[in-house]
Chain A
């Protein structure tokens, strides 16, 4: 680098610092290489590598316990990696903690607001903790509150807020210090569908308005479609990483679901007569639906192939359905399991825990 160039870079860095934002480095905003985290021999995150570009909405998709939150905690400097490295905005997460923290905003799964203070006060404290110049605090607070539609309630104590309002306030707070990356850990968990779609609107808006990269985790398949790229993570490993469209395309066309009284014979017939490999989900795993094992088949063109398949099968078929692939199918295809069945159990367990906690007046755990 020549001398004038150096001076120019330093000047830009100073200008950025003066604006309350750490200097911008070139290249991807998040770089992860062979990141691993073990807990007493249990490998929560297993040799994970990926990069996230600037202004990207990047999703981590996987069932509970897949290692999503552990990865976020390492990127947020709350957990030290066992091995491997990660840089955020060019800063190393293990050795440059403060610079990394100044570069990111985080919305955790559980609320981290002071519910005895008003929304505006929560934002003010956050701005102070993150070195936002006093002259700008008021104006930034107004702007983020307006964005999440909480301007009218800014003077109310947070204890009077609903779950959705709290989540919106936390997103607003995460933006107060103009971070480069906003982490959202299960941003829509436990929210009703209407609030969920409102949160997504905010996420898209803020990317446009704040030039921000959004890194989020979710186990809702339909929500992951909002991302530019998705990393599918299972038991600590990334099993696929691409755009939602490409991932779905990779499934290979349409999905035919058959319910049959004799899955074994049906499978054999599909293989012999049509050269098709199918996946079976036993009836016992699905208590809500009608009887019969469910058989999933991927075909290039379901609508034309289905009549031929039905004609060719000798076993009794109880029901049929054809649909275009979803990310659920991608996950099923990659891991042989469905993401939903596991997460639903966990969600119920969690909701029960929250209820228990509320009934104890917040005193228990």
Chain B
């Protein structure tokens, strides 16, 4: 247990920093709110309000809400893990690297803290669920929270992996354009993948967020048929999380 001490310390520090920055907490909700209430409303109205997603007819805003929840977690998770780059730039990473703690525990600490922050941001979004036509019961919330954490964990694992190789913040725009945006759009967050062409379907299958969005939608919208079985989604997410974590730790330890 002694070897995991640093995980807790880093988690505590990152959470302290996050909750001290009220502007960032609220600011990171701006994008998802715009997506749901402007894009969701506008696009929904122009396609006739309802979307026939694999048989079921549903309000577009409602359909997209679980997808936007997935997006919130993806963005928050990657943003949180990019703090490694800030820590390197401002020197604090060196303070951790020279301490008598193993370097894998630093990487693990970053993943755990990022996942906590990202799932917290996701939970904040749930306040808006009724306005998007999603009704939440205590049972649904109880299922959502661990699922959100699992999605957040895999996204943060990816974030730490990339951030370990990033030398400065300039590379971050590249990550946005080449990793986060495609992951978001291919995940089925914005539209059902049932009618997607083969190439898109194939890309969606290798996008971890696809399984996250599918699982979140299965919990929140029981009348929309899922793409995969819920257990498949969760199993794959757990596998992806474990894989990402191991690669992230290896990359971080090698880079430092």
Give A contacts to B, CB under 8 Å.
76-78, 97-99, 101-102, 106, 108, 110-117, 121, 125-126, 128-131, 362-365
Contact = CB atoms under 8 A, between A and B. Distances in A.
A343 B23 CA distance: 43
A129 B96 contact: yes
A112 B95 contact: yes
B9 A108 contact: no
Interface in B16-41: 16-17, 20-21
B254 interface: no
A364 B167 CA distance: 10
B99 A129 contact: yes
Max count, chain A CB within 10 A of own CB: residue among B93, B169, B170 = B169
Contacts of B95: 112-114, 126, 129
Interface in B132-180: 167-170
B5 interface: yes
- Top 8 closest A-B pairs, CB basis? A112-B91, A129-B99, A101-B100, A112-B95, A98-B100, A112-B94, A102-B100, A365-B168
A363 to B, nearest CB: 5
A128 B20 contact: no
A112 B100 contact: no
A117 B16 contact: yes
A78 B97 contact: yes
A320 to B, nearest CB: 48
Max count, chain B CB within 10 A of own CB: residue among A101, A114, A121, A363 = A114
Contacts of B94: 108, 112
B168 to A, nearest CB: 5
B216 to A, nearest CB: 32
Given A108-B91, A125-B9, A128-B5, A116 B17 contact: yes
Given A77-B98, A125-B13, 19 more contacts: A78-B97, A97-B100, A101-B98, A101-B100, A106-B98, A108-B91, A108-B94, A111-B90, A112-B91, A112-B95, A113-B92, A114-B92, A117-B16, A125-B9, A129-B6, A129-B95, A130-B99, A362-B89, A364-B170
Nearest to A106: B98
A113 B86 CA distance: 12
Contacts of B97: 78
Given A112-B91, A114-B13, A129-B9, A78 B98 contact: yes
A117 B17 contact: yes
A227 B241 CA distance: 53
B51 interface: no
B53 interface: no
Nearest to B90: A115
Contacts of B168: 363-365
Contacts of B167: 365
Contacts of A111: 90-91
A115 B9 CA distance: 17
A363 B167 CA distance: 11
Max count, chain A CB within 10 A of own CB: residue among B20, B92, B167 = B92
Contact of A130 (B16, B90, B100): B100
